[in-house]
């Protein structure tokens, strides 16, 4: 039998130094380029039957009075016309009304400007140039959510788009039964500490205005809100009218909110499609607007007012996060007619936002079986012309309440690999209660794992570098460096120290004699500096795992840090390290002495590599 194999076509290498022996990413090679040329950016290979990327970009949806053509020649500008060089060296000419002044990042990109925010984004995404950032923004595939008011506080500009690294969002907000402004600001700092790239204030209780203001002023990351929540505070839903919608939109834009979730895609004609669902409408905004439409017998006011809302958002450069009010709330309702009809409307709303010069991303599900995740991502890139997709999870099973940060992290990894640009975290409290600080941490970490795993898989340059450094520290049994490179060093250290001191050439997982990393190190280097009776051919059962330590292992995760360290200190004695390094440590003897030991006892093996 012929057991030859061939590798699939390779994408980019996520390691800057091509470290290690892996052949590289199995994703599609990235094609970053202006206009439609960049519609593949970083993407997974398509499973047969997947929708292809749209052949349109934001350049196809310019405001009235604008036009664009491919040009030759360098940058020139005259009243109402500019020609500029794009990131691939080609030139584009853009005509616009002579009195036009760019306000939003999208408008600046359309006239060839590279803004300060684009430069900052390129610094934070070292695989992209500022010109590439501009071209992605101009194509509508990337947004820089940066309200001009928030830029005046502490906002550090970032981007959301498939050409950049995958971002994560953390939700927070006071509810009518729990939390207040101070606690929410603390949660904001906590979320940023654990890697949130944006934060949504979803408060529905307490002093909403004060809470929002405090969060914006304290935040270095973009803040998103769902303005309809505030619109119905203090009035009956039935009384919500067009004036109140525009007034609150303007108010929150003036406060400095960077992006708004607006559920304008839920149309009256979609409502019959939810009738046979198991769980109906699970979006707060979607359910409120559905009720309003039924009560009034009118179309969704957000849809009707879209251009007016755009005009307000443009003035402050607030970005859209076009809401998915009909997202599925359970696997049984996924990819159904209601959800996909709304997605098509989200595509229409994206085009209308772009015509108004407003940046837009689209929101997506929700609860989706694992096999349907790719289709959902690739349908969005088609219907919404590659506008960044911002998905909630998705959860890939419904029967693990209390663990939905895990059920959704699995779906989120697939979503990011197949095309999502930002992942909205889910905490262990999902469906059960308002997340507290530790829930926020658990949610953020689960989603950093999802985003990072996808970035490495997609071959985004440099994204594997820290993994490789940690692998090297792990191979060297260098525990201190191992902890330092960990995303959560304290937890890594505490887990390790429950069982053993750091100064050992193994950990309690396998113990000295079964530590494959130590044995491997002996094979490629030298005998880890062990005393004679610690050498590999004279294995000895280590004293490291005492009965006390077995108890510690059983209690892992419930001990306080103080208790962990108190118990860990006892282990120094167990490995004979009370007066210095444990005898098992590679530095226990001089390197030369170790090499002599090895030469004397280990036969060198010449490996023949075909
Ligand atoms: S003892 Fe096992 S888990 Fe621990 S470092 Fe060695 S091989 Fe890894």
pLDDT for residue 493? 79
Q: How far apart are CA 12 and CA 24, in angstroms?
A: 7
Element (H, E) at 85: strand 81-85
User: Which residues, 6+ apart, have CB-to-CB distance to 468 below 8 Å?
Assistant: 15, 17, 19, 20
Cβ pair 368, 396 in contact under 8 A: yes
CB of 475 within 6 A of ligand 1: the answer is no
pLDDT of 382 over the 80 cut:
yes
CB of 506 within 6 A of ligand 1: the answer is yes
393 dihedral zone (left: phi>0; alpha: psi -120 to 50; beta): left
Q: How far apart are CA 5 and CA 177, in angstroms?
A: 60
pLDDT digits (tens, 9 = 90+) for 403-455: 999 999 999 999 999 999 999 999 999 999 888 888 999 999 999 999 999 99
CB of 523 within 6 A of ligand 1: the answer is no
If one counts every other C-beta atom within 10 angstroms of the C-beta of residue 299, the result is: 13
Residue 246 has which token pair?
Answer: 């525009």
CB of 271 within 6 A of ligand 1: the answer is no
Atom of ligand 1 nearest to the CA of 474: 5
* Residue keyed to tokens 């009256």: 268
Ligand 1 geometric centre to CA of 508 (Å): 7
Q: For a ligand 1 pocket test, name from 517, 519, 542, 586 the mutation site with the most ligand atoms within 8 angstroms of its C-beta.
A: 517
pLDDT for residue 600? 61
Q: Where are the domains of the chain?
A: 58-458, 467-601
User: Which residues, 6+ apart, have CB-to-CB distance to 365 below 8 Å?
Assistant: 324, 327, 328, 334, 339, 376, 391, 392, 393, 394
pLDDT for residue 598? 58
Provide the whole-model pTM. 0.87
pLDDT digits (tens, 9 = 90+) for 125-173: 999 999 999 999 999 999 999 999 999 999 999 999 999 999 999 998 8
Cβ pair 327, 283 in contact under 8 A: yes
Atom of ligand 1 nearest to the CA of 511: 1
CATH architecture for the domain at 58-458? Alpha-Beta Barrel (3.20)
To the nearest whole number, what is the mean pLDDT of the chain?
Answer: 87
Ligand 1 geometric centre to CA of 529 (Å): 17
- Going by pLDDT thresholds of 50, 70 and 90, the confidence category of residue 482 is confident
Instruction: Identify the residue whose C-alpha is closest to ligand 1 atom 7.
Output: 515
178 φ/ψ angles, rounded to the nearest 5 degrees: -155, 145
CB of 507 within 6 A of ligand 1: the answer is yes
CB of 510 within 6 A of ligand 1: the answer is yes
* Residue keyed to tokens 């979607």: 286
Cα–Cα distances in Å, from 220 out to 144, 161, 199, 217, 413? 14, 19, 10, 9, 26
pLDDT of 587 over the 80 cut:
no
User: End-to-end CA distance of the chain, in Å?
Assistant: 20
Q: How far apart are CA 321 and CA 300, in angstroms?
A: 17
CB of 517 within 6 A of ligand 1: the answer is yes
358-384: average pLDDT: 98
CB of 516 within 6 A of ligand 1: the answer is yes
pLDDT of 528 over the 80 cut:
no
Closest CA to 55 of 362, 421, 383: 383
Instruction: Identify the residue whose C-alpha is closest to ligand 1 atom 6.
Output: 515
- Going by pLDDT thresholds of 50, 70 and 90, the confidence category of residue 571 is low
Cα–Cα distances in Å, from 386 out to 122, 136, 306, 558? 20, 10, 20, 46
Ligand 1 geometric centre to CA of 461 (Å): 30
Q: How far apart are CA 246 and CA 414, in angstroms?
A: 37
Coil, helix or strand at residue 389 = strand
Q: For a ligand 1 pocket test, name from 510, 571, 575 the mutation site with the most ligand atoms within 8 angstroms of its C-beta.
A: 510
Element (H, E) at 28: strand 28-31
């Amino acid at each position: 039998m012929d057991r030859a194999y061939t590798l699939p076509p390779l994408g980019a290498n996520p390691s800057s130094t091509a470290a290690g022996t892996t052949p590289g990413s199995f994703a599609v090679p990235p094609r970053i380029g202006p206009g439609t040329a960049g519609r593949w950016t970083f993407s997974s290979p398509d499973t047969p039957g997947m929708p292809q990327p749209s052949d349109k970009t934001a350049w196809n949806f310019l405001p009235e009075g604008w036009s664009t053509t491919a040009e030759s020649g360098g940058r020139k500008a005259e009243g109402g016309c500019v020609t500029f060089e794009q990131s691939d060296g080609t030139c584009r000419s853009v005509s616009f009304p002579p009195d036009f002044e760019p306000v939003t990042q999208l408008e600046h990109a359309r006239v060839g400007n590279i803004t300060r925010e684009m430069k900052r984004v390129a610094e934070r995404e070292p695989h992209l140039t500022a010109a590439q950032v501009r071209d992605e923004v101009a194509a509508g595939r990337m947004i820089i959510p940066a309200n001009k008011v928030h830029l005046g506080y502490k906002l550090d500009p970032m981007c959301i788009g498939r050409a950049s690294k995958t971002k994560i969002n953390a939700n927070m907000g006071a509810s009518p039964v729990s939390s207040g402004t101070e606690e929410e600001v603390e949660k904001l700092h906590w979320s940023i500490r654990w890697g949130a790239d944006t934060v949504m204030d979803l408060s529905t209780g307490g002093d909403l205005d004060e809470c929002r203001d405090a969060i914006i002023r304290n935040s270095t990351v973009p803040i998103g809100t769902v303005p309809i929540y505030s619109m119905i505070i203090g009035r009956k839903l039935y009384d919500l009218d067009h004036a109140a919608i525009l007034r609150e939109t303007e108010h929150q834009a003036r406060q400095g909110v960077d992006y708004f979730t607006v559920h304008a895609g839920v149309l009256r004609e979609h409502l019959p499609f939810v009738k046979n669902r198991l769980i109906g409408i699970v979006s707060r905004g979607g359910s409120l607007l559905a009720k309003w439409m039924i009560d009034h017998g009118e179309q969704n006011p957000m849809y009707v007012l879209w251009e007016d809302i755009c005009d307000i958002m443009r003035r402050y450069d607030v970005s859209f996060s076009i809401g998915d009010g009909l997202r599925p709330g359970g696997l049984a309702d996924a990819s159904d007619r209601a959800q996909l009809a709304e997605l098509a409307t989200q595509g229409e709303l994206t085009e209308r936002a772009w015509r108004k010069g407003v940046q837009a991303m689209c929101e997506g599900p929700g609860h989706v079986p694992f096999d349907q995740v790719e289709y959902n991502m690739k349908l969005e890139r088609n219907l919404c012309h590659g506008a960044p997709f911002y998905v909630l999870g998705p959860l890939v099973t419904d029967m693990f309440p209390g663990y939905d940060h895990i059920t959704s992290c699995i779906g989120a990894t697939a979503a990011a690999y197949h095309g999502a640009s930002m992942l909205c975290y889910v905490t262990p409290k999902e469906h059960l209660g308002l997340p507290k600080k530790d829930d926020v941490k658990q949610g953020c970490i689960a989603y950093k794992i999802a985003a990072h795993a996808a970035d490495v898989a997609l071959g985004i340059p440099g994204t594997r570098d820290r993994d490789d450094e940690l692998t090297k520290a792990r191979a060297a049994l260098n525990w201190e460096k191992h902890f330092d490179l960990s995303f959560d060093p304290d937890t890594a250290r505490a887990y390790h120290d429950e069982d053993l001191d750091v100064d050992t050439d193994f950990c309690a997982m396998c113990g000295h004699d079964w530590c494959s990393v130590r044995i491997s190190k002996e094979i490629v280097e030298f005998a880890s500096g062990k005393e004679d009776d610690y050498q590999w051919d004279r294995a000895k059962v280590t004293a490291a795992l005492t009965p006390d330590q077995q108890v510690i292992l059983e209690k892992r995760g419930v001990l306080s840090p103080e208790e962990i360290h108190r118990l860990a200190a006892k282990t120094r004695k167990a490995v004979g390290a009370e007066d210095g390094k444990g005898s098992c440590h590679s530095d226990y003897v001089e390197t030369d002495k170790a090499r002599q030991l090895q030469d004397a006892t280990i036969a060198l093996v010449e490996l023949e590599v075909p």
